[in-house]
């Protein structure tokens, strides 16, 4: 009888440690990535944000109807030149794959900037700074930094507003399209102009 009990204890210990070692506590859901490979060996990936349904927050001073309702945006004058937004982020198949923040900054000393932080839980984060002046209806910015999968990448991200004029999408007014053109730092070969 005592031998059976001791065997049970050993079995329980081994089973518990095996479960703790082999069973994943966190199971991160992944959507298939939709990436196009470009001629220079880099890749292009397009994300979008459907508005208004993917907007989580709009933070700015003087809003009559803050989003989300009940939010108290700071009234301190130092934040008067900041507009902060949070969104859910979708891939090209229209599936939610991450979250993103967009800060429109108007600093008297450092000028105007738009800064994005895209967070894809299964892959990493992308920090992008862009000029607020659009070129060909798009704003283009450089990848300032990336984490995890994006840590070894460099490239550009463009932001474009596409209005929904079809009227077939219900409440949608349009979407923000974010196109990422990234290249591994190992593959990057500076051209003659850059080298100078």
Partner 1 sequence: MRYLVVLLLGLVTGVAIALAILFYNPFTAQISLSPLAVSDSQQISLRYSAVAEDSIIITNSGDSSRLQPNPVKVLQLWEAPISNTDVLVTLLHDSRNKSVGIGVKFSSRSERTRLLNGKALVDSAWYIYLPGKGSMLIEQSENHWAFLRDVIIPARWNSGNKWRGNWQGIITDGPGALGTARVYGGSGIYSGLNSEAIETHTAKAYSTDVGPVAMEGRLTIDLSVEVDDETSADASIY
Residues 128-147 that bind partner 1 (CB under 8 A): 129, 144-145, 147
What's the angle, vertex CA 114, arms to CA 108 and CA 115, rounded to 5?
115
Give yes or no for residue 37 binding partner 1 (CB under 8 A): no
One of 125, 176, 178, 181 touching partner 1 (CB under 8 A): 125
Give yes or no for residue 83 binding partner 1 (CB under 8 A): no
Number of residues lying near partner 1 (CB under 8 A): 71
Class of residue 35 by CB neighbours under 10 A (exposed 0-12, middle 13-18, buried 19+): middle
Point out which span in 101-109, 157-165, 168-176, 178-186 binds partner 1 (CB under 8 A). 101-109
Q: 1 or 135, CB closer to partner 1?
A: 1
Between CA 137 and CA 135 the distance in angstroms is 5
Q: 42 or 59, CB closer to partner 1?
A: 59
Q: 109 or 193, CB closer to partner 1?
A: 109
What's the angle, vertex CA 131, arms to CA 127 and CA 137, rounded to 5?
110
Q: 96 or 163, CB closer to partner 1?
A: 96
User: Under rule CB under 8 A, which residues in 150-169 are in contact with partner 1?
Assistant: 151
Between CA 149 and CA 193 the distance in angstroms is 29
Between CA 184 and CA 186 the distance in angstroms is 5
User: Under rule CB under 8 A, which residues in 41-80 are in contact with partner 1?
Assistant: 55-57, 59, 68-74, 76, 78-79
**Smallest distance, Å, CB 134 to partner 1?**
19
Neighbours of 143 (CB within 10 A): 20
Between CA 67 and CA 73 the distance in angstroms is 10
Between CA 167 and CA 183 the distance in angstroms is 37
Give yes or no for residue 110 binding partner 1 (CB under 8 A): yes
Q: 41 or 74, CB closer to partner 1?
A: 74
Give yes or no for residue 35 binding partner 1 (CB under 8 A): no
Using only C-alpha atoms, the chain has a radius of gyration, in whole angstroms, of 23
């Amino acid at each position: 009888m005592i031998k059976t009990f001791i065997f049970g204890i050993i079995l329980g210990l081994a089973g518990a440690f095996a479960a703790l070692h082999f069973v994943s506590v966190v199971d991160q859901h992944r959507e298939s990535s939709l990436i196009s490979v470009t001629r220079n060996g880099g890749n292009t990936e397009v994300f979008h944000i459907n508005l208004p349904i993917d907007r989580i927050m709009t933070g700015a001073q003087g809003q009559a109807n803050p989003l989300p309702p009940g939010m108290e945006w700071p009234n301190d004058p130092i934040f008067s030149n900041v507009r902060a937004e949070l969104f859910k982020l979708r891939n090209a198949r229209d599936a939610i794959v991450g979250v993103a923040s967009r800060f429109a900054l108007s600093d008297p000393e450092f000028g105007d900037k738009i800064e994005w932080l895209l967070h894809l839980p299964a892959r990493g984060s992308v920090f992008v700074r862009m000029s607020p002046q659009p070129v060909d209806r798009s704003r283009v910015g450089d990848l300032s930094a990336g984490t995890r999968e994006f840590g070894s990448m460099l490239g550009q991200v463009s932001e474009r507003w596409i209005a929904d004029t079809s009227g077939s999408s219900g409440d949608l007014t349009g979407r923000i399209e974010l196109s990422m053109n990234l290249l591994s730092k190992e593959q990057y070969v500076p051209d003659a102009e850059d080298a100078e």
